[in-house]
Structure 1
Amino acid sequence: CILVYDVNVQKTFETLQHWHEEFLEQVDPTDPETFPFVLLGNKVDGGSSRVVSEKTARDWCASKGNIPYFETSAMEGYNVEDAFLCAAKTALANEHEQDIYFQGIPESISETEQRGCAC
């Protein structure tokens, strides 16, 4: 899961905890403590308008099990490729450990349901 906030808007950083918890609640992984996340602090091209320090973001990541952190600029393409490469590698490394099953969705369809509309 990739979480993104704007380094120039404090409120976006403050809502990270909510989105982190909401994601884990919706996905319900077998081990929430080790579910792979990556945090992106975006818009680092904003000059002096920055309000969330890199240290603050890294401290938050440390409190969540040392999740990877990248400072990015989508506008300038700064660090974006590295961030998504890390996310992809993390996902691939965890694909068998973090199987996600959605409750209420059958894994197979009965023969009756396959023949046509059940309306």
Structure 2
Amino acid sequence: MDHDRKHFIKAIILGDSAVGKTSLMNQYVTKRFTQQYKATIGADFLTKDLVVDGKPITLQIWDTAGQERFQSLGVAFYRGADCCILVYDITSTKSFESLSSWKDEFISQSNCRDPDNFPFVILGNKLDKEPERKVSNTKASQWCLANGNIPLYETSAKDAINVEEAFQFIAKKALANIKEDVYQPSIEVKKQQKKKKEGCC
């Protein structure tokens, strides 16, 4: 029965303002892109049903505001996250340099039990602006390696480059990480219930 059970995965997207967090989420879920920039206020989310390794998944993607004045809202949104997507703009050195602080903030506010093994994924967005690139793939890869060998995808929300692939990988990585939490407790509960029933008889 557990094989057919639908798994729920909560993913958080973090990064500076205007790196394309909302656009990536919208491109993946709705296959739409708009040139009009509208800052996210607080947080918003979309869900998408998909199949990973033969298992039905509901992926809930939380898009949080990048503005500093909204970062205090993070605690409620970060907790319960199964994976964290850190986004930077390949044409913005500042957004890339902010990755460490976003990663640290997530770890401190989410209360994740094992930060070293928590599923992080880095997305270098706006690949459609390659001529304006300021952050090389090599530099980004080196940062990922130094921070626990975090997977890196360079994406374009505008042209839908690597967006589907990145989110599929994110869902797969998160699912692999939560498998023990999903299955083991249910087994233990069943055993305890069985013992109680035997005791009553």
The TM-score with structure 1 as length reference comes to 0.79
Gaps spanning 5+ residues in structure 2: where? 1-83, 183-201
- Structure 1 residue 96, shift from structure 2 partner: 4.2
**Compared with structure 1, are the counterparts of its residues 35 and 97 closer, same or farther at alpha carbon in structure 2 (3 Å cutoff)?**
farther
**Aligned 8 A contact 1:29 1:98 in 2:** no
1:90 counterpart (164, 170, 173): 173
Tell whether 2:157 aligns with 1:74: yes
State the percentage of identical aligned residues.
Answer: 52
**Aligned 8 A contact 1:35 1:98 in 2:** no
Tell whether 2:56 aligns with 1:7: no
Secondary structure in 2 matching 1:45: helix
Query: Structure 1, residues 85-112: CA drift from partner, whole Å, max 9, x if none?
Result: 010001100114579xxxxxxxxxxxxx
The structure in which a higher percent of residues are helix is 2
**Aligned 8 A contact 1:6 1:12 in 2:** yes
Gaps spanning 5+ residues in structure 1: where? 100-119
The structure in which a higher percent of residues are strand is 2
Query: Structure 1, residues 27-52: CA drift from partner, whole Å, max 9, x if none?
Result: 12121111110000000110311000
Tell whether 2:106 aligns with 1:23: yes
**Aligned 8 A contact 1:40 1:69 in 2:** yes
Secondary structure in 2 matching 1:25: helix
Structure 1 ranges of 4+ moved more than 2 A: 96-99
Paired residues, what number?
A: 99
Alignment partner, residue 6 of structure 2: none
Q: Which has the higher contact order (CA 8 A, sep 6+)?
A: 1
